[in-house]
Amino acid sequence: MIVTSYLNDIAQYTEGKIHKVVLNDIYEITQFENKDMEDKTVFLKYMVPENSVTHIEKIELQTSNNEVISRNLVSIPITADTVLLQYIEVKEV
């Protein structure tokens, strides 16, 4: 069993590495409404402006050096300014 304090350290490290969100390989978001870590989970809240993309098919979290931390294939139509909530949970499997 991995102790909770170590899992929290990993979540905190991950939160610190997230620099931007890249949508569909073309649109970058570097301003977060909220980026926080609590109880082994990283929480992100960010705005996708209406005119940035019409449909999100891929969401990547990246470091400041453009290294991919996570990649999610999705299907999200954007018809107005949209707030997205995303989280990364660090857990033992």
**48-61 pLDDT, tens per residue?**
999 999 999 999 99
Closest Cα partner for 70 from 17, 8, 9, 6?
Answer: 17
Q: What pLDDT was estimated at residue 23? A: 98
The verdict on pTM exceeding 0.75 is yes
Q: What pLDDT was estimated at residue 93? A: 85
Measured between alpha carbons, how far is residue 18 from residues 77, 81, 91 in Å? 24, 22, 18
Q: What pLDDT was estimated at residue 39? A: 93
Query: Mean pLDDT, the chain, as a whole number?
Result: 96
User: What is the tens place of the pLDDT at every residue in 66-89?
Assistant: 999 999 999 999 999 999 999 999
User: What is the tens place of the pLDDT at every residue in 1-53?
Assistant: 999 999 999 999 999 999 999 999 999 999 999 999 999 999 999 999 999 99
